[in-house]
Every structure is written in C-alpha cells, then in structure tokens.
C-alpha cells in the first residue's frame, strides 16, 4: 500500500535525491515557497525550501525496496519510529501541494505587514495598544513587540487581531 514518508537529505542534495527517486519510479515532493530577501540592498523574490533538507516521497514498500530508498543518492535517512518508517498523513501532503505557490498564498503573505511596521491590536485583552510587527508565527499568527509598563515583550497574536497603522 502506498504511503507518504519523510526523508532527511544531505545538505543541499534534495534535488539529487528527488532525481534518483524518480529514476526508481518513486514519486517525491519538495515544497518550495517564494520569499522576499534583501540582496545588494534590493528586495528580490526567491524560491526557498519550505522544509530545508527534508523531502516527502510516496512509495509502496512491498513493491519498492526500503534498502534502495535508504541508499538513494542524497538521502541521509528516512524518518522512523523504532524500526518502522513513519507515514505522513495524506491530508498534510495534499494540503501543502494545494497551497504550494498558489495565488492565494502569495496574496496572504503580501497582505502581512513588513517587520518593523506599527500595528494596532484590534481584538483580545491588548485591544487598543500599538505594537511593532516582528515576524510571522506560522500561517495564522504573528509575533508582535508590545510595550507594557515600560517593558518590551514579544508575544504571538492571531493575524486577524491586529491592523496595520497607515501613516
């Protein structure tokens, strides 16, 4: 029976592992995301791995030898519990595939404030306080720097609980 599994790859050899798995007839998935980086003082969009050094593969261990997968060039080891490879839920993989480089994902990340932007907390116990946006904390939350009683504290807030302050 086919299952998705997770392989830990040697540094910077994920594409090599993907190629060699394909030669064995094994489907693989290496999720990438588009991020903005500063290069030579300019913002540029680059593709980066969502999970560096990790590669998902879809295999039937009764028809493909686990030894051949473990010895595939680029793969260091397959994630396991005890001596049994740990299957990854299909919903997780298909969820990642559906979001992978979609217009909705790009729109979501473009709507987030940039690090250092001032935001107003609109919901919850800190409603009405200003904070500084620091970074995303997963898909639905963000880390904000809040000043309370002359002390700065970083805390995680749901993305819908704050608004960008337009200057």
**Per-residue confidence (pLDDT) for residue 109, from 0 to 100:** 59
**Per-residue confidence (pLDDT) for residue 136, from 0 to 100:** 72
- Phi and psi at residue 146, to the nearest 5°: -110, 135
pLDDT confidence tier of residue 108, bands split at 50, 70 and 90: low
Report strand pairing: 54-60 vs 2-9: antiparallel
Query: Across residues 93-106, what is the average pLDDT?
Result: 70
pLDDT confidence tier of residue 27, bands split at 50, 70 and 90: very high
Is there a common fold for 2-109 and 113-164? no
CATH-assigned architecture of domain 113-164: Roll (2.30)
- pTM score: 0.58
**Per-residue confidence (pLDDT) for residue 69, from 0 to 100:** 94
Tokens representing 93 are 């993989």
How many Å separate Cα 59 from the centre of its chain? 23
Domain boundaries 2-109, corresponding CATH code? 3.30.70.940
């Amino acid at each position: 029976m086919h299952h998705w599994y997770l392989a830990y790859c040697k540094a910077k050899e994920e594409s090599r592992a993907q190629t060699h798995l394909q030669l064995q007839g094994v489907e693989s998935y290496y999720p990438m995301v588009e991020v903005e980086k500063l290069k030579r003082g300019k913002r540029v969009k680059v593709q980066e791995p969502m999970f560096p050094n990790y590669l998902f593969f879809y295999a039937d261990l009764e028809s493909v030898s686990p030894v051949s997968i473990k010895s595939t060039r680029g793969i260091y080891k397959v994630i396991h519990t005890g001596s049994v490879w740990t299957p990854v839920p299909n919903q997780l993989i298909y969820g990642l595939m559906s979001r992978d480089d979609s217009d909705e994902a790009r729109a979501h990340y473009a709507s987030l404030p940039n690090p250092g932007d001032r935001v107003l907390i609109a919901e919850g116990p800190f409603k009405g306080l200003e904070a500084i946006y620091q970074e995303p904390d997963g898909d639905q939350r963000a880390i904000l720097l809040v000043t309370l009683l002359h002390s700065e504290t970083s805390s995680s807030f749901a993305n819908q609980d704050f608004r960008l302050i337009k200057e």
